[in-house]
Chain A
Amino acid sequence: MTGRISALLTICLLAPMLGLGLTAHALAQSDDSEEGTVWSFPEQLDIGISTNEIAISPNFSGADIFVFGTIAEQDDFLLAIGAYDIIVALEGPLRPATVRRKERVAGIWVNRHSVRFEPVPASYSISSTRPLDSIAKQIVLSANDVGIKNIRLIPTGGLGDASQVGDFRQAMLRIMQQAGLYQRDPSGVKFVSKNLFKAAVRLPANIPVGEHTVRAELYRNGQYVTQTRIRLRVVKTGLEQFTYNLAHQHSLIYGLLAVGFALFTGWLSSVIFRKD
């Protein structure tokens, strides 16, 4: 630990000149020699939200939820120099996903190849104190399953051409981001007092219903420290959700209702508009 502390002291002296962003980067690099060491840090992370169920109304057009949290057993010195970073991610329910690619066949665009992935989060919103790549190295983030780039996309079943799976992965992440289902906010987590932070996490307008997980991770000088998670249920309210449930759980009644409504509408119009 002595080498580490002296490195920190050096950095601390340099900090006012270099700015904090650079500081953390330097710190992350100073740990290079200690790769593989399993650190056990004393810090604890606690988070809380005002509700464990979010009811989405039919005209919901996206909103932020706020997650508050504290770092306990913190090192005041490290806190003061901004060596702590927090990443908060809201992960949607896991669902299997199939990505298909169109190709031109006899002049027509046809779905030719497809890759099926193991269940992936149906939505993913991530907020952090800084851009992820300045919080920790890619390998650290990947090991802790954090970041859109590190969402696990594992193909299932037999693959035709393994070399193309990368293209399908990238397409999946690209389309999910375009649809607003995967989002990031690199400055969404802010310290509101000494060790209390507030994370704004975006709920997309088309947020899937089901069990979501809020996962918060604490990083210290580019090293993963700890994580904590809470469950969050997203439910939809109103007639629309009632309709959806009816259609899926009592589909025969729903089908009969649809036909009944059609017969009634058609019959009513013929009564109202009868010519004679």
Chain B
Amino acid sequence: MTIYLPIAELSVNIFVILGMGAAVGFLSGMFGVGGGFLITPLLIFYNIPPAVAVATGANQVVASSISGALAHFRRGTVDIKLGCMLLIGGLLGATAGVQLFLMLRRMGQLDLIISLLYVVFLGTIGGLMLLESVNSIRRAARNEPVSARRPGQHNWIHRLPLKMRFKRSKLYLSVIPVLVLGFAIGVLTSVMGVGGGFIMVPAMIYLLRVPTNVVIGTSLFQIIFVTAFTTIVQATTNYAVDIVLAGLLMIAGVIGAQYGVRVGQRMRGEQLRAGLALLVLAVGIRLGLNLVLPPDEIYSIVTGSFG
């Protein structure tokens, strides 16, 4: 059964899209990630125009993150002040990112940059995660204690000016790295269609030394607002949000996530992380091959106002 996507302007098999949404939802529930970094490449593999895949991916992250954000908000594990500072950076970053997106699209280099960014990020993050999880699996096998977080050694970031007190996180921290981090995530949200949790969470833990109990809630707080804002700006600037595609992905995704969570709870953390790392690497390699292998058709046509 095919369904016509009004913005992507092509017909797709509805079951392929639902299956994709459910599979990514399952994985995101299992690993506790937003799934934007898997959805966007999968859509590109399925010949959805990268511009639409990215803008729609950002929209889909809103749905997959809201339930987590609400849960953390109810439990009070959100540092609202830190979240707001990240958000200011994030909104500025998303605005700049959408303009960059428009510029790259006009230059005909958008697809290339999206793929390159994915290859670099997925390769790096996947590689680091695999290394870390293999090490901790080894340590667990030798019955050594697993240290989740190294002791709070202060680094150069804590010597920057414009300090601010974040009570919930028990931090006295310069606002500069917070804004910069938020900005960078905002750019990634608009150019890659991801929530950015996979970068923000490690950055908050290792660079800002935010306590782990508020990290997830605070990053989800920021992600919800930045992805929602990006969706609106992408819709008004690039007309690239496909609501039919996003709707199908969301519905399948939120259901898949429920099953993913249940499976994830029964698996060990290191194995889970190793699995996610392998998946991330596989997607990165697949995208990388697309860039390196000779294409079937070296010419492409863009009709209409872009070009």
Q: A108 CA to B11 CA in the complex, in Å?
A: 30
Chain A contacts of B67 at CB under 8 A? Answer: 266-267, 269-270
Query: Are A255's CB and B231's CB within 8 A?
Result: yes
Chain A contacts of B205 at CB under 8 A? Answer: none
Chain A contacts of B59 at CB under 8 A? Answer: 258-259, 262
- The reply to whether the CB of A38 lies closer than 8 angstroms to some CB of chain B is no
Closest to A57 in B: B4
- The reply to whether the CB of B60 lies closer than 8 angstroms to some CB of chain A is yes
Q: How far is the CB of A29 from chain B (nearest CB, A)?
A: 37
User: Known contacts being A240-B244, A243-B244, A247-B239, is A255 close to B234, with CB within 8 Å?
Assistant: yes
Query: Are B246's CB and A262's CB within 8 A?
Result: yes
Q: A256 CA to B234 CA in the complex, in Å?
A: 11
Chain B interface bracket (under 10, 10 to 19, 20 to 34, 35 or more)? 35 or more
User: Known contacts being A111-B109, A114-B108, is A99 close to B300, with CB within 8 Å?
Assistant: yes
Q: How far is the CB of A122 from chain B (nearest CB, A)?
A: 6
Q: Which of these binds chain A: B130-138, B151-159, B252-260?
A: B252-260
Closest to B10 in A: A206
Chain A contacts of B62 at CB under 8 A? Answer: 259, 262-263, 266
Q: A263 CA to B291 CA in the complex, in Å?
A: 35
Query: Are B300's CB and A100's CB within 8 A?
Result: yes
Query: Are B236's CB and A252's CB within 8 A?
Result: yes
- The reply to whether the CB of A116 lies closer than 8 angstroms to some CB of chain B is yes
Query: Are B6's CB and A175's CB within 8 A?
Result: no
Query: Are B255's CB and A58's CB within 8 A?
Result: no
Q: A240 CA to B241 CA in the complex, in Å?
A: 13
Closest to A107 in B: B292
Chain A contacts of B65 at CB under 8 A? Answer: 266
- The reply to whether the CB of B208 lies closer than 8 angstroms to some CB of chain A is no
Closest to A95 in B: B303
Query: Are B60's CB and A262's CB within 8 A?
Result: yes
Instruction: Report which of A243, A244, A256 forms a contact with B232, defined as CB distance below 8 A.
Output: A256
Chain A contacts of B60 at CB under 8 A? Answer: 262
Instruction: Report which of A168, A244, A252, A256 forms a contact with B299, defined as CB distance below 8 A.
Output: A168
Instruction: Report which of A98, A111, A262 forms a contact with B112, defined as CB distance below 8 A.
Output: A111
Chain A interface bracket (under 10, 10 to 19, 20 to 34, 35 or more)? 35 or more
Query: Are A261's CB and B243's CB within 8 A?
Result: yes
Query: Are B239's CB and A262's CB within 8 A?
Result: no
Q: A258 CA to B263 CA in the complex, in Å?
A: 30
Instruction: Report which of B10, B11, B235, B306 forms a contact with A258, defined as CB distance below 8 A.
Output: B235
Chain A contacts of B3 at CB under 8 A? Answer: 58
Q: How far is the CB of A77 from chain B (nearest CB, A)?
A: 46
Closest to B298 in A: A102
Q: A269 CA to B6 CA in the complex, in Å?
A: 26
Interface set, chain B 180-238, CB cutoff 8 A to A: 228, 231-236
- The reply to whether the CB of A171 lies closer than 8 angstroms to some CB of chain B is yes
Closest to A241 in B: B6
- The reply to whether the CB of A149 lies closer than 8 angstroms to some CB of chain B is no
Q: How far is the CB of A85 from chain B (nearest CB, A)?
A: 31
Q: A171 CA to B296 CA in the complex, in Å?
A: 13
Query: Are A251's CB and B299's CB within 8 A?
Result: no
- The reply to whether the CB of A172 lies closer than 8 angstroms to some CB of chain B is yes
Interface string of A42-72 (1 = CB under 8 A from B): 0000000000000000110000000000000
Query: Are A101's CB and B258's CB within 8 A?
Result: no
Query: Are A251's CB and B235's CB within 8 A?
Result: yes
User: Known contacts being A96-B303, A100-B299, A267-B70, is A247 close to B232, with CB within 8 Å?
Assistant: no
Query: Are B299's CB and A175's CB within 8 A?
Result: yes
Q: List 12 contacting pairs A-B, 8 Å CB cutoff, sorted by A.
A: A96-B305, A97-B301, A104-B294, A109-B292, A172-B299, A174-B299, A240-B6, A244-B6, A252-B235, A256-B232, A258-B232, A261-B243
